[in-house]
Amino acid sequence: MGRTHALTGWCAGLALAPAVGAGSVHQAVVFAATTAGFALLPDLDHPGASASRLLGWLTGALSWVLRRVSAGFYALTKGPRDENVTGKHRHLSHTVLFAAGLGVLTSWGTTEGGPWAVVGVVIFGLMLAEGALGDWLLPVSGAAVAWWFFTAPPDRAGELASISGWLGIAVAAGCLTHCLGDALTEAGCPFLFPIPIAGETWYEIRPPRVLRFRTGKKVEKRLIFPVFALLGVLLVPGVWTYTVDTFQRLFIPPTSQRATTP
């Protein structure tokens, strides 16, 4: 479901942020919010998805175009053992190639477009994530932006330019996280296209049957979502360290020192 995709994208963004240089709290939150939002974008190929309804007729039109392009691309590339389906949903936009291509396009666009392009990508990702996770994300992200505004160096345009260097990674990571999530469901996800597997060009990657779950059912609602909700808090920079220190201070007494005789 959309909120699980967004939440796993948020966790993936927080885990990946230090590796790309977004190590401070405000940078990690912006990075994770972008990843969370774009973890919903692959479902733009479904007319009922939150990404398709986000901006009314505009995203609806983009969804219509993506579905047609995906169907045409599937018809051209499917092998003799691939399924006889339309190829509109969970195909073109649910591949590593799509994630990488959109990430490269974002990096190029934010580099060439300057600060306003950076702000546009972040806001769009935030709108996508907020629609799935709820309004709580707005004050959290707003606080991170305000923190950045008052603590960043005077050259804020330069700071925005540095952000553009990892926004493409955030976008690609969000799309890839979506694919990995779909791969755990009963339907699977052909995200390794065009690598042929078992004679299929669009082979649906999925774990053994016992590890799969049905979308929107008890496993997702009562296990997966709560676990990632907890991780989504603990992965915020400084929270885990503070939690461990507090636990040790409250429940683990300091080691007593033995008196020694000279």
pTM reported for the whole predicted model: 0.83
Rounded distance, CA 34 to CA 127, Å?
9
What's the pLDDT score for residue 245? Answer: 67
What's the pLDDT score for residue 259? Answer: 46
Residues 4-19 have a mean pLDDT of 90
Query: Domain ranges in the chain?
Result: 2-251
Residues 70-91 have a mean pLDDT of 92
Residue 56 has pLDDT above 50, yes or no: yes
Q: Which two tokens stand for residue 204?
A: 């649906």
* DSSP-derived secondary structure letter, 87: -
Q: What mean pLDDT value characterizes the chain?
A: 82
Percent pLDDT > 90 in the chain is: 35
Cβ proximity of 104 and 127 under 8 Å: no
C-alpha pair distances (Å), 125 with each of 74, 82, 145, 177 = 27, 33, 14, 14
What's the pLDDT score for residue 202? Answer: 94
Q: Which two tokens stand for residue 260?
A: 């020694």
What's the pLDDT score for residue 145? Answer: 63
Residue 261 is which amino acid? T
What is the SS3 assignment for 47?
A: coil
Rounded distance, CA 236 to CA 139, Å?
15
Q: Which two tokens stand for residue 240?
A: 């885990």
